[in-house]
Structure 1
């Protein structure tokens, strides 16, 4: 069952770019969070999306929010991707697709690609926005608008 606006984010764990354990309870429920699921490191749209989040990262953190990117790529792939593009936010490896399944992220392009969905979560851990679009750069605008509404 897919998460809906108004649902509380379930807790999850995954490996970050350094291969360390990340536990969502360290952030979710403590501050606003943008969790975005994307298909694959180093593809054109995913790279543009990640770089757009990078370029706007300070705007998110100035509002007290954190950004987390999730894909099924390996820790090593994430590490290289983050280094090459100087990504300042957390990337999580969801190689077993447990987090994607937990959130109910749908597939895209007739089930051929993992979906591209962004969740904006308030500081209580409740979903305030779900944005599902194959167009990667649109996610940043929607997420930032939503975070601004949460903190105003």
Structure 2
């Protein structure tokens, strides 16, 4: 994973409507990037629904949540609507953003990981689950965010 206390790599990716979204749009805001292997898989669905269920915890901390996987714009649209995800999903089909954040696993799939970026564009937290079939409990993530 990308090292903490480094500049977050810039990126521009399409969202589930095909609109291009750049990290630079969020300067002045905290951003949580959620890297995940794939839409509508059992663990990823549970993971992103956990973020959905706790979105107010991020909102009250002033954090913008962005989900990133290599799935297509169309896949993200269906997945986001099906599970009523209240945050933006970005399509990294070339895996360039996952590579830039060192979030690719040994099989070429995105790791289950997150990166917290502060208002100035610096990485303040980065974490990756070693086993792709689990993810870090939300209370642990929120505790790390509060301590950062």
Q: Same fold (TM over 0.5)?
A: yes
Partner residue, 1:104: 102
Q: For the residues of structure 2 that align with 1:118 and 1:10, how far apart are their CA atoms?
A: 14
Mind listing any 5+ residue stretches in structure 1 that lack a counterpart? none
Partner residue, 2:12: 13
Aligned residues: 146
Match of 2:120 among 119, 124, 134: 124
Q: For the residues of structure 2 that align with 1:137 and 1:86, how far apart are their CA atoms?
A: 20
Determine if contact 1:48/1:137 at 8 Å carries over to the other structure.
no
1:7-86 residue pairs with structure 2 within 5 A?
7-27=6-26, 29-86=27-84
Mind listing any 5+ residue stretches in structure 2 that lack a counterpart? none
Q: Secondary structure at the match of 1:114?
A: coil
Q: How far off is 1:102 after superposition? A: 1.2
Determine if contact 1:34/1:143 at 8 Å carries over to the other structure.
no
Q: How far off is 1:137 after superposition? A: 4.0
TM normalised by structure 1 equals 0.88
Q: For the residues of structure 1 that align with 2:5 and 2:92, how far apart are their CA atoms?
A: 24
Determine if contact 2:112/2:135 at 8 Å carries over to the other structure.
no
Per-residue deviation, residues 35-55 of structure 1 (Å, max 9, x unmatched):
011000000000000000000
- The alignment's C-alpha RMSD in Å is 1.7
Q: How far off is 1:64 after superposition? A: 0.5
Per-residue deviation, residues 65-123 of structure 1 (Å, max 9, x unmatched):
1111000000000000000000000100000111111111130xx52643111111122
TM normalised by structure 2 equals 0.90
Q: How far off is 1:135 after superposition? A: 5.0
